[in-house]
Amino acid sequence: MRERRVSVGDAILAHSPVAGNGIHFALLTAKLAAELAHSWIANAKESARAAAFYCELARSSRVRHVNALQRSHQEQPQPDLRSAIGGYVRFAGPTRCEPLHVGEGFKEGEAIVLPDGTSVRWLAGVDLLELRAIASRPVPASSVVNYFSATGLSTSRARALMDWCMKHELLSTTLDG
């Protein structure tokens, strides 16, 4: 991004066909670039936030894509995180304030920092920051799965999201409640 010129899709980051996600990224950045251009006309303050969000999206997408490619070359067995379902967990993710894309606009808000330095707030339609309130102290892992299920996810997707949160250190296991 330079002044009022915005790159989208492969012009930002040429995704490897091996790791995929190039089409999703192209569509996502095309939509966001249109919103960014709209903010130039509509709202100067939001425009700065939108630009910061867009640059961070490009940076974090690069980090995730490179990491995914590196993982695809390694044959390390993944730990069986599902074993945590029977134990206790608590929220462990650090957070930071940054520009977020909410609805059709850009706002300053809190996001959870992942171990690779990228951040997340919503995944599979779930506001992951809710975990901070739900699991501020050790709670049965099953109650977190139940919370995900209550947002409309199937049990298998709720468990997959739980595994994702464990793998990315948003939740840590504890011995008991």
Ligand X SMILES: Cc1cc2nc3c(=O)[nH]c(=O)nc-3n(C[C@H](O)[C@H](O)[C@H](O)COP(=O)(O)OP(=O)(O)OC[C@H]3O[C@@H](n4cnc5c(N)ncnc54)[C@H](O)[C@@H]3O)c2cc1C
To ligand X, the closest distance from the beta carbon of 65 in angstroms equals 10
Q: Of 1, 4, 10, 70, which lies in the binding site for ligand X, with binding defined by CB under 6 A?
A: 10
Residue 64, class by beta-carbon neighbours within 10 Å (0-12 exposed, 13-18 middle, 19+ buried)? middle
Residues 69-88 that bind ligand X (CB under 6 A): none
CA 4 to chain centre: 27
Q: What is the DSSP letter of 78?
A: P
Report yes or no: 53 and 33 within 8 Å, Cβ to Cβ.
no
Q: Which of 2, 3, 6, 21 binds ligand X (CB under 6 A)?
A: 21
Q: Which one, 7 or 172, has the nearer CB to ligand X?
A: 7
> What is the distance between the alpha carbons of residues 8 and 132, in angstroms, rounded to a whole number?
34
**Helix 44-73 crosses helix 22-42 at what angle (to 10 degrees)?**
170
Number of shown-chain residues binding ligand X (CB under 6 A) = 11
Site string for ligand X, 122-151 (x = CB under 6 A): ------------------------------
Q: Is 26 in the site for ligand X (CB under 6 A)?
A: yes
Strand pairing category for 105-113 and 119-120: antiparallel
Q: Verify binding: residue 20, ligand X, rule CB under 6 A.
A: yes
Pick from 17, 77, 86, 103 the residue near ligand X by CB under 6 A: 17
Which positions touch ligand X (CB under 6 A)? 9-11, 15, 17, 20-24, 26
